[in-house]
Amino acid sequence: MAGRDGHACLRAGRAHARPADGLPARTRRDHPTRPPPRSPRRRHSPTPADQPVDPPPSDAHHGASNAVDRRGGTRPRGNDRQALLGKPPPGHGRGGDGRARRRRHDHPRPIRRARTARCLPSALHVHPIRHHLRRVRPDPTQRDRRAGAGPAARATLSRSPAPPPRPPPRLARLTRPRSAHVPTPPSYPSAHGLLNEQNVVITAAAGTGIGFALARRCIEEGANVLISDVHERRLGEAADRIEAETGRRPRTQICDVTSEDDVRALVAAGIEQLGHIDVWMNNAGLGGNAPIVEMTDDAWAKVLDITLTGTFRCLRAVLPHMYERGSGAVVNNASVLGWRAQELQSHYAAAKAGVMALTRCAAMEAAAHNVRINAVSPSLAMHPFLAKVTPDGLLEELEAREAFGRAAEPWEVANVMVMLASDYTTYMTGEVVAVSSQHA
């Protein structure tokens, strides 16, 4: 049925042909919309892999028909380009599945011109990009930095002045350039009534430093305060100063936190004089400078007994009273040395790190009774006692570490402790808040 009307499937014999008058008009050969018939395509016969490729004959471009080649055969007619080029090499014209590719065009493809890369002038030697910097080939004109300089270079270097020696690491902090303007402490804050009618007890060292500033700030915020100290004279002088500055005199009680009896007496005095205890401030602490190899057992035990065990004794004594009332807040005074290492401070840093851990663990137990326990971690709060027991060079170094270039005022630390005791932090417990302008 080749050349007849109808679909290609009918002409191939894969279906029963219908009469010519039963076929649609678009399937007739003379229909105007039907494309012209295609010329048969030529397929290349595969060439065995071991058969050599014949070169094209020298006179193949003359176009003579049925000419006899050198082997006695005939060349095909027309413009058979493959005949002009010779037999294809093995595997030519095959796809991935082994079938020969079909050529879609009879005309030859245009010759592609090779693109010339644009080379930009570079004043520097550019290394090729590799997967790692270590794989970049070094410039042969440059010697290895680990190799020594040559004789000429050594002669040149010997004539140049030697650089000044670098200062030791500790002195480097003291000699580093600092800004001409060193920030001064802000003005003293006004009262905001954060502890109105709250009953606050401050343990130990209320006569100086952070303890004294804390007692004053609590009274200024409207709290009823009872302060304690191991020194009776210093405790009385502190009460007189607070009364002169605020117009209200705090209650006092002698207490040594290393004594269990004194601690229980302080809790009883707070309940008796104030009615109940809402806030308990643990401010006990003792430091000092001592290398480990020269530190005695007594020196180690004394620092830990006052700083860590004293805080534990106070918690053990006051928590039953707060559990019974179903409310309360405890604020412990830790130190940034519990996080950051510093020489000659092993005993003090170990004690303050223990205060941090004690704060977190005790807070988990007290949460069931609606009692919050938090801590502050100041870095450097300057007060007369600290300036007396610390060398001047070390104080300058510690101040240079601070981002503000100065030590904190004691009342700046007391402000954070007051905040943790107020109702503004009712959801905070077991937290250690850093009062510092340096990295921990």
State the chain's maximal CA–CA distance in angstroms. 134
Identified catalytic residue from 188, 348, 424, 427? 348
The residues, ordered by sequence, that sit 6+ positions from 292 with a Cβ below 8 Å of its Cβ are 346
Along the 440 residues of the chain, how does pLDDT read in single tens digits?
455 555 555 555 555 555 666 667 766 667 677 666 666 665 555 555 555 555 555 544 444 444 444 455 555 555 566 665 666 666 555 555 555 455 555 556 666 665 655 555 555 555 555 555 555 555 656 555 555 555 555 555 445 556 566 555 444 444 444 455 566 888 999 999 999 999 999 888 888 899 999 999 999 999 999 999 999 999 999 999 999 999 999 999 999 999 999 999 999 999 999 999 999 999 989 988 899 999 999 999 999 999 999 999 999 999 999 999 999 999 999 999 999 888 899 999 999 999 999 999 999 999 999 999 999 999 888 776 666 667 777 778 878 888 888 889 999 999 999 999 999 999 999 999 999 876 54
Pick 199-435's CATH classification: 1.10.10.10, 1.10.3720.10, 2.40.30.10, 3.40.50.720.
3.40.50.720
* Residue 188: Cβ-neighbour burial (10 angstroms; 0-12, 13-18, 19+): exposed
Active-site residue 424, yes or no? no
Give the start-to-end residue ranges of the domains of the chain: 199-435
**How crowded is residue 335: how many other Cβ atoms within 10 Å of its Cβ?**
29
